[in-house]
């Protein structure tokens, strides 16, 4: 095997574990988002709150800056709403992983009933792999596309 080709093959082999690790992490983050939607839609409040780190800082257009407690209160209030039901579906556009951080660009498709009102909430989530091995959102920014809030 020519010397240059051997060096190229070795370089590719050394790069593979990092590539696989990023793919695994991106898959874990994707699974967390899909699990969140399933938990929220099923009314599992504690499980839905577990997507967020205790160090969460969130910004959503039209709302004050929020933390973990604020975000969980909003989730609980939505799930407990006696007159409306809320259903979320993630539409993930991109996941970038660098070490213990991941950035996700996505749309959340929210359907509110009665009326089957559909709202698309665009956002960016920053995940960190925490000490227990779970990926959780530490920062996020979001807005609904029509600006009504």
Please indicate, yes or no, if residue 149 is contained in any of the structural domains. Answer: no
How many domains are contained in the chain?
Answer: 1
Alpha-carbon distance 75 to 49, whole Å?
7
pLDDT band at 6 (very low <50, low <70, confident <90, very high): low
Please indicate, yes or no, if residue 31 is contained in any of the structural domains. Answer: yes
Please indicate, yes or no, if residue 101 is contained in any of the structural domains. Answer: yes
Please indicate, yes or no, if residue 73 is contained in any of the structural domains. Answer: yes
Please indicate, yes or no, if residue 63 is contained in any of the structural domains. Answer: yes
Alpha-carbon distance 24 to 18, whole Å?
10
- Condensed to tens digits (0 to 9), the pLDDT of residues 62-78 reads 889 999 999 999 999 99
CATH code for the domain of 40? 3.10.450.50
Using DSSP bridges, classify how beta strands 66-67 and 135-144 pair: parallel, antiparallel or unpaired: unpaired
Say what the pTM is: 0.81
Q: Which range of residues forms the domain containing residue 126?
A: 3-144
């Amino acid at each position: 095997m020519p010397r240059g080709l051997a060096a190229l093959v070795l370089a590719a082999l050394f790069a593979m574990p990092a590539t696989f690790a990023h793919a695994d992490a991106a898959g874990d983050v994707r699974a967390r988002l899909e699990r969140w939607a399933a938990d929220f839609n099923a009314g599992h409040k504690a499980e839905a709150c577990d997507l967020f780190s205790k160090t969460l800082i969130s910004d959503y257009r039209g709302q004050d800056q929020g933390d973990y407690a604020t975000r969980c209160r909003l989730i609980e209030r939505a799930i407990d709403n006696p007159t409306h039901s809320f259903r979320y579906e993630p539409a993930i556009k991109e996941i970038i992983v660098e070490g213990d951080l991941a950035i996700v660009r996505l749309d959340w498709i929210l359907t509110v009933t009665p009326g089957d009102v559909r709202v698309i909430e665009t956002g960016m989530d920053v995940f960190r792999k925490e000490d227990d091995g779970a990926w959780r959102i530490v920062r996020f920014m979001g807005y609904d596309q029509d600006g009504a809030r």
